[in-house]
Structure 1
Amino acid sequence: MDIGAQLLQAGNLMLTGMVGVFLFLSILIFAMRLLANFAAQLKEAESSTSRQKIAKTASSQGVPQAHIAAISAAVATYRKNN
């Protein structure tokens, strides 16, 4: 086998490897973007559901007056001491 044939075979092998790596990385990037979009949609659906639950519980129950009084007293004490 002469040097020309060996260089041609080496070039072929290098080109095949580079195309393989390029294809693998392209598929990986596509899959990661697809997964990121799916996760964003899932998070958006969960947050809208939790916001609806929070809005229902907050509007129906409210904050007890005892908690408001305790927090006000704690803030007043903190401000007085500092």
Structure 2
Amino acid sequence: MDITSLLLEAANLMLTGMVVVFVFLLLLISVVKLMSSVLAKYAEDPVTNNKTKTQNTITTKSSTVPAAHLAAITGAIHQYRQQHGHKKS
């Protein structure tokens, strides 16, 4: 076999592989979208109950941080500053 036929065979194999991968990805995307739409149609909406929220939360602009987490973070910062000699800003 000469080099030209080898190059043509390699190009043909590469093109076939790329087409197979492209078609597989298109099928995968379409199946996932179809499943998503079917499941969204039959899924129940979650019921939100405001009575289950805890009373000890601090509300910020972006999210709600539990007071216990805030206390733990503050304590860790205080301990770090004591151990490393940082001044209070």
The TM-score bracket by the shorter chain reads 0.5 to 0.7
What TM-score, normalized by structure 1, do the two folds share? 0.61
Q: What percent identity do the matched residue pairs reach?
A: 3
Deviation at 1:72, TM superposition (A): 3.8
Q: Structure 2: which 5+ residue stretches go unaligned?
A: 59-64, 71-89
Task: State TM-score, norm by structure 2.
Answer: 0.57
Q: Which has the higher strand share?
A: 2
Cα distance per residue 1:5-41 (max 9 Å; x no partner): xxxxxxx611111000000000001111111110010
Structure 1 unaligned blocks of 5 or more: 1-11
- Give the CA RMSD over aligned residues: 2.6
Higher relative contact order, chain-length normalized (CA < 8 Å, sep 6+): 2
Which structure shows the higher helix fraction?
A: 1
User: Which protein is bigger by CA-based radius of gyration?
Assistant: 1
